[in-house]
Amino acid sequence: MVEGLGSLLPSAQSMQLMVAFRDEAGALEVKVEVPGYPRAAVERLGEEVRKSGGTFVELWRLPKAERDALRSRTLAGGTPFAGNEREQAAQELRQHLEALSARPPQPAAPAPASAPPAEAPPAPPPAPLASTGESYRAPEADPSEAPSSSGDETPRRARRFAVKLEMEFRTELDFVREHALNISNGGLFVRTAHRPPQDSVVTVDVKLPNGQRLQGEALVVHVVDAPYTGGVGLAFLSDDATFSATLDGYLASLVGEKA
């Protein structure tokens, strides 16, 4: 599967791999740069991982805090490989998994006679773990809906805020000035008659009330075809530190206004 990533993701413009090992599992991160979200290819990759007994995670779908925590747990101390080093990455991963399968089961230590029965330990995580697109940050709910929250939700998760922010977005054919109507840590919804197709990538430039700007690429994850209320839901693709700090600071200010 790892060696065949080139044919599985033929539209990839660049690819980076990270292989890391734990006592009970191996982890593989696949980071690709593509002109549009390769939905069919990602679904095939996920199916291949599940067939192998592993767990497949699309990192871009996780809130940033969860994504960072997962990468820290599974990929810390890993070895990076370039896209043309897939065979070397596959070999290291294979050797580790073969060693795990050959390891005899470890007997459980007997509990003291006076101790109450111990609960069964949790099952070890499956292996390998594969992930894609760690730079993607997507809204967790339909961005065309009204903003909602549940008390103490943080802005780094699914909480969305009603706004009216001046913005521009560009496609290969169009340059459009519009207003974003709601925003979250994952993305925003733009009411517009110019509706790029789902899974295409646009360049956005959002003007914040404090004068700062959010500039980067976004993925069209949702298209609402309605005469007066339609538009597009955009998922931020940038994982740049400045972009993240600017967005998080703005969302934090909105939390203060709503408190």
pLDDT digits (tens, 9 = 90+) for 52-92: 888 898 887 776 677 788 888 888 888 999 988 999 999 98
DSSP bridge pairs for 178: 167
Specify the pLDDT at position 99: 86
Q: How many CA atoms lie within 13 A of 74 on its CB side?
A: 25
Residues of the chain with pLDDT below 70 are 36, 63-64, 105-158, 257-259
Cite the residue boundaries of each domain of the chain with CATH code 2.40.10.220. 161-258
What is the structure's pLDDT at 5? 87
| Sequence-distant (≥ 6) Cβ neighbours of residue 215 within 8 angstroms | 203, 204, 205, 206, 243
Q: What is the phi/psi pair of residue 117, to 5°? A: -55, 130
Residue whose entry in the numeric block shows the structure tokens 């693709």: 237
- The closest alpha carbon to 169, from 179, 160, 161, belongs to 179
Q: Name the superfamily (CATH) of residues 161-258.
A: predicted glycosyltransferase like domains (2.40.10.220)
Q: What does pTM read for this prediction? A: 0.53
pLDDT of residue 112: 52
What pLDDT shows up at residue 109? 56
Residue 228 and residue 195 in contact, taking contact as beta carbons nearer than 8 Å: no
